[in-house]
């Protein structure tokens, strides 16, 4: 009986401790509008794709100004003073400081770091880009904004998608067709300086890779479950981060990994944002929301309004971990 009381007391203390950590910080609604797709954040700039005209949108946290950047076929992403997105035909790179744009024709689904933009081009008989990123004969390309030089990084042999870049390293999903109805997907990494390609995941069920420094995060799909993994490419160590089978959409900054956990409450699908600290091996719940992105101490995400089935009733929030 005494051990049971001690156990219950410890659980109670843990719950209080967990709640105090998870609620430490300040949440602010950035804007409520017809918003969809994943937000991105760098410094004091937040970007997202707005359902109104399918436009790439930019928000300045300091001034509160909202700027429409142009038509978007996917979510824009920001790094430094540059925003990049796909307008369903070309890759657009927008310089926040100068207001100038660069267009990379017949390219799609870009990611950017410094002056390097990575994206996908597809080889078809008519030479046109692919709208289906799981199509065969997609290739990963690199464009340097300083030299205006375009380089093909991978051959037209595999489906490629979801590229992420940090420094001289690029990670992306690479698919191999096992048979007429089955694909094997792994996370691969390309070193720009050495031109070496290697696999991060070899299970054939991986996707959604992101890189920051020497850490790569991704999702492993096993039957109907999904969990977040990480690999330290400097230490050659792989670690499973989640074990609930409902975790997806990871992002990383520094030693913090965030992701979305999906679960059912009755007939309603709910979403929570969690964060894992690599240094302390600690996991905490941040809030109820979806599509998280992180920069420094700031996390941005989407929360549905009153109508959870209507994407035009979504709101973008900012959570400041240090406030």
Judging by beta carbons within 10 Å of its beta carbon (0-12, 13-18, 19+), is residue 26 exposed, middle or buried? exposed
Kindly tell me if the per-residue pLDDT of 3 is higher than 50.
Answer: no
Question: Which is more confident, 240 or 7?
Answer: 240
DSSP 37-77: EEEEEETTEEEEEETTTTEEEEEETTT--EEEEEE-SS--E
Classify the phi-psi angles of 167: left when phi > 0, otherwise alpha if psi is within -120 to 50, otherwise beta: left
Name 28's bridge partners.
318
Q: Which two tokens stand for residue 123?
A: 């080889």
Would strands 55-60 and 45-50 be described as parallel, antiparallel, or unpaired?
A: antiparallel
Kindly tell me if the per-residue pLDDT of 232 is higher than 60.
Answer: yes
pLDDT in tens, 61-84: 999 999 999 888 888 999 999 999
pLDDT in tens, 75-126: 899 999 999 999 988 999 999 999 999 999 988 889 999 999 999 888 764 5
Question: What domains sit in the chain, N to C, each tagged with a CATH number?
Answer: 2-320 (2.130.10.10)
Q: Which two tokens stand for residue 300?
A: 């941005």
Three-class secondary structure of residue 278 per DSSP:
coil
Question: Which is more confident, 35 or 139?
Answer: 139
Q: How many CA atoms are closer than 13 Å to the CA of 297, on its beta-carbon side?
A: 8
Report the mean per-residue pLDDT for the chain.
85
Q: Which two tokens stand for residue 88?
A: 């369903």
User: What average pLDDT score do residues 42-66 get?
Assistant: 89
DSSP 221-232: EETTEEEEEEEE
Cα–Cα distance measured from residue 251 to residue 211, given in angstroms and rounded to the nearest whole number: 8
User: Token match 């709910």: residue?
Assistant: 270
pLDDT in tens, 260-286: 999 888 888 889 999 999 999 999 999
């Amino acid at each position: 009986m005494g051990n049971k009381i001690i156990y219950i007391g410890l659980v109670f203390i843990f719950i209080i401790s967990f709640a105090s950590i998870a609620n430490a910080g300040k949440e602010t609604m950035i804007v409520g509008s017809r918003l969809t797709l994943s937000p991105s954040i760098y410094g004091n700039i937040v970007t997202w794709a707005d359902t109104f005209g399918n436009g790439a949108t930019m928000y300045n946290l300091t001034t509160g100004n909202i700027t429409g950047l142009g038509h978007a076929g996917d979510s824009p992403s920001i790094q430094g003073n540059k925003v990049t997105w796909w307008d369903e035909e070309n890759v657009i790179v927008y310089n926040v400081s100068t207001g100038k744009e660069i267009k990379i024709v017949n390219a799609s689904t870009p990611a950017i770091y410094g002056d390097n933009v990575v994206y996908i081009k597809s080889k078809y008989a008519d030479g046109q880009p692919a709208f289906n990123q799981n199509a065969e004969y997609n290739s990963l390309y690199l464009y340097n904004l300083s030299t205006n030089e375009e380089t093909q990084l991978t051959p037209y042999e595999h489906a490629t998608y979801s590229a992420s870049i940090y420094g001289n390293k690029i990670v992306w999903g690479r698919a191999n067709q096992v048979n007429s109805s089955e694909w094997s997907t792994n996370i691969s990494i390309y070193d720009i300086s050495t031109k070496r390609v290697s696999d991060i995941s070899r299970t054939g069920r991986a996707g959604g890779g992101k890189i920051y420094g020497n850490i790569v995060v991704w999702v492993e799909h096993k039957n109907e479950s999904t969990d977040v993994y990480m690999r330290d490419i400097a230490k050659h160590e792989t670690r499973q981060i989640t074990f609930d089978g409902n975790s997806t959409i990871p992002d990383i900054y520094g030693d913090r990994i965030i992701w979305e956990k999906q679960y059912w409450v009755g007939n309603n699908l709910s979403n929570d944002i969690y964060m894992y600290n690599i240094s302390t091996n600690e996991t905490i719940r941040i809030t109820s929301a979806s599509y998280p992105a992180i920069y420094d101490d700031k996390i941005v995400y989407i929360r549905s309004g009153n109508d959870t089935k209507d994407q035009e009733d979504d709101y973008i929030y900012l959570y400041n971990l240090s406030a």
